[in-house]
C-alpha cells in the first residue's frame, strides 16, 4: 500500500514538473551552467516481448517491456542526440542543440538481439552492449535467473533455507526472497556457486532457455547494425570480492576474447552490478580499457573520472505511470537526475 501511495505521489509530482515546463527549463539551465558538456548515459538490461515476459525468470529491476522500450526510443529520438561509443569517448559535439545521451545495455541478453535490435534499427540509433564473454562462449547463464527458476518449486524452499541459514549461523532466518538474493550477490562467486550447486540447475543452458545470452554469430550481426559490443567481465562476479588474479583474469580474459571473436578493439568496461573500488578501478585501467561504467546515478560531465562514469539505470517501473503505461513525465524526472 505504502509503495502504491509513494508511486502515485511520484507520478503526480513528475507530471506537475514536466507539464508545467519547469523540468524542461531546469534541463536547459543546468546544461548551460555546465557549459553544455553533459552526457546522459542510460543503462538497461532486458527488453521483453509479452511472450518472452511470461517465460523469463528475471527480477523486475532489470526488465523493460517491448512496448515501453519503443516509446523510450521515440522520446530519446525527439529530445536527445544519441551518440555512438566512439563519439562519446572522443567528446564529439552533436549537431544541433539537443542534449546528448549514450544508450547502454548490460549482460548481453538474447532479447537484446531478438526484441531490442529491430527498434534500434527502426530509429537508426547506436547503442553499446556490455557482454559477459564466458557466458557466450560456454552457453552459461546468470545465477539469479537460475535461482528464481528453482524457487518456483516450493518443495525446494525448506532445504535451501536450511543450507543458507547454516552457512550464515542463523543470520538469515526468515528472510525474504529479495534478502536471500542480496546476501548471495555479496558473496565471492566460488562460495555462492558452492551454496547454490545442490539447489538449482547448472549454469549451462540449452537452446530455447528464456534467460540465455546471445551467440557469437548474433553478436557479429549486432555489430554490423552499429551496436558496439564491449566487456562486462568473463563470469560476472562482483569484482571487489575477488582476489587480484581473478580480477585480472576477468578483465583481461574478456577483453582478449571479445577482440579475437569480433575483430575489434574493446574500449569500454561495465563493472558487474556497478560495483567497484580503487583496486578494481586501477586494474581496469591496467588491462587497457579506455573507460568504465558504474551504476551510480547522474550525468557524465567533461572532466569527470572516465573510469567511474555515472549512468541512469532504467527499467519498466521507472518510466511508467500509475496505470502501467509509458510516462514521458516519469522518464524526464529520472533522466534529469533529480531522482
Q: How far apart are CA 111 and CA 173, in angstroms?
A: 36
C-alpha distance from residue 47 to each of 75, 102, 214, 228 (Å): 16, 17, 13, 17
How near is the Cβ of 108 to Zn ion at its closest, in Å? 9
User: Are the C-beta atoms of residues 270 and 131 closer than 8 Å to each other?
Assistant: no
Of the pair 235, 336, the CB lying nearest Zn ion is at 235
Question: Cβ-closest residue to Zn ion?
Answer: 106
How near is the Cβ of 236 to Zn ion at its closest, in Å? 6
Q: Report strand pairing: 81-83 vs 63-65.
A: unpaired
Of the pair 62, 222, the CB lying nearest Zn ion is at 62
Binding-site string for Zn ion from residue 72 to residue 111, where x marks contact by CB under 5 A and - marks none: ----------------------------------xx----
Q: How many residues bind Zn ion (CB under 5 A)?
A: 3
127 backbone dihedrals φ, ψ, rounded to 5°: -160, 165
C-alpha distance from residue 113 to each of 72, 167, 274, 286, 316 (Å): 17, 39, 23, 31, 19
C-alpha cell at 172: 538469515
Of the pair 57, 327, the CB lying nearest Zn ion is at 57
How near is the Cβ of 271 to Zn ion at its closest, in Å? 9
Q: How far apart are CA 112 and CA 20, in angstroms?
A: 35
- Which residues pair with residue 104 across a beta bridge? 43, 128
Applying the rule CB under 5 A, the residues between 140 and 169 that interact with Zn ion are none
Which DSSP category does 152 fall into?
Answer: T
Of the pair 73, 313, the CB lying nearest Zn ion is at 313
Of the pair 66, 106, the CB lying nearest Zn ion is at 106
Of the pair 132, 333, the CB lying nearest Zn ion is at 132
Contacts within 8 Å (CB) and 24+ apart, 181-187: 181/59, 181/144, 181/147, 184/143, 184/147, 185/144, 185/238, 185/273, 186/238, 186/241, 187/241
Applying the rule CB under 5 A, the residues between 257 and 296 that interact with Zn ion are 272
How near is the Cβ of 318 to Zn ion at its closest, in Å? 17
Of the pair 17, 127, the CB lying nearest Zn ion is at 127
C-alpha cell at 157: 524452499
How near is the Cβ of 57 to Zn ion at its closest, in Å? 15
How near is the Cβ of 311 to Zn ion at its closest, in Å? 12
Residue 66 in contact with Zn ion, rule: CB under 5 A:
no
How near is the Cβ of 213 to Zn ion at its closest, in Å? 11
Which of these, 210, 187, 262, lies nearest to 231 by C-alpha position?
A: 262
Residues that bind Zn ion in the complex, under the rule CB under 5 A: 106-107, 272
Amino acid at each position: 500500500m505504502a509503495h502504491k501511495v509513494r508511486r502515485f505521489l511520484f507520478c503526480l509530482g513528475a507530471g506537475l514538473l514536466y507539464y508545467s515546463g519547469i523540468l524542461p527549463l531546469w534541463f536547459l539551465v543546468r546544461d548551460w551552467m555546465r557549459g553544455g558538456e553533459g552526457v546522459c548515459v542510460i543503462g538497461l538490461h532486458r527488453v521483453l516481448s509479452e511472450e518472452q515476459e511470461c517465460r523469463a525468470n528475471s527480477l523486475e529491476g532489470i526488465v523493460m517491456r517491448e512496448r515501453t522500450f519503443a516509446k523510450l526510443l521515440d522520446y530519446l529520438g525527439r529530445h536527445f542526440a544519441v551518440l555512438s561509443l566512439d563519439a562519446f569517448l572522443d567528446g564529439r559535439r552533436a549537431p544541433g542543440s539537443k542534449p546528448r545521451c549514450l544508450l547502454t545495455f548490460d549482460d548481453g541478453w538474447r532479447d537484446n538481439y531478438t526484441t531490442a535490435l529491430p527498434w534500434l534499427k527502426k530509429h537508426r540509433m547506436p547503442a553499446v552492449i556490455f557482454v559477459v564473454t564466458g557466458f557466450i562462449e560456454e552457453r552459461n547463464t546468470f545465477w539469479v535467473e537460475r535461482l528464481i527458476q528453482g524457487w518456483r518449486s516450493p518443495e525446494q524452499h525448506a532445504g535451501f533455507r536450511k543450507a543458507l541459514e547454516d552457512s550464515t549461523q542463523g543470520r538469515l532466518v526468515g528472510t525474504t526472497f529479495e534478502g536471500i538474493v542480496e546476501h548471495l550477490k555479496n558473496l565471492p562467486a566460488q562460495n555462492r556457486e558452492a551454496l547454490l550447486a545442490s539447489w538449482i540447475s547448472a549454469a549451462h543452458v540449452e537452446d530455447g532457455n528464456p534467460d540465455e545470452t546471445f551467440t557469437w554469430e548474433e553478436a557479429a550481426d549486432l555489430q554490423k547494425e552499429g551496436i558496439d559490443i564491449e566487456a562486462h567481465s568473463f563470469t560476472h562476479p562482483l569484482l571487489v570480492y575477488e582476489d587480484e588474479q581473478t580480477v585480472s583474469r576477468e578483465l583481461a580474459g574478456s577483453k582478449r576474447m571479445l577482440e579475437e571473436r569480433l575483430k575489434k578493439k574493446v574500449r569500454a568496461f561495465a563493472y558487474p552490478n556497478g560495483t567497484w573500488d580503487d583496486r578494481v578501478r586501477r586494474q581496469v585501467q591496467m588491462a587497457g580499457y579506455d573507460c568504465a561504467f558504474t551504476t551510480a546515478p547522474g550525468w557524465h560531465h567533461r572532466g569527470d573520472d572516465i573510469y567511474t562514469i555515472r549512468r541512469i539505470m532504467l527499467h519498466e517501473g521507472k518510466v511508467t505511470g500509475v496505470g502501467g503505461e509509458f510516462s514521458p513525465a516519469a522518464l524526464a524526472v529520472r533522466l534529469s537526475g533529480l531522482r
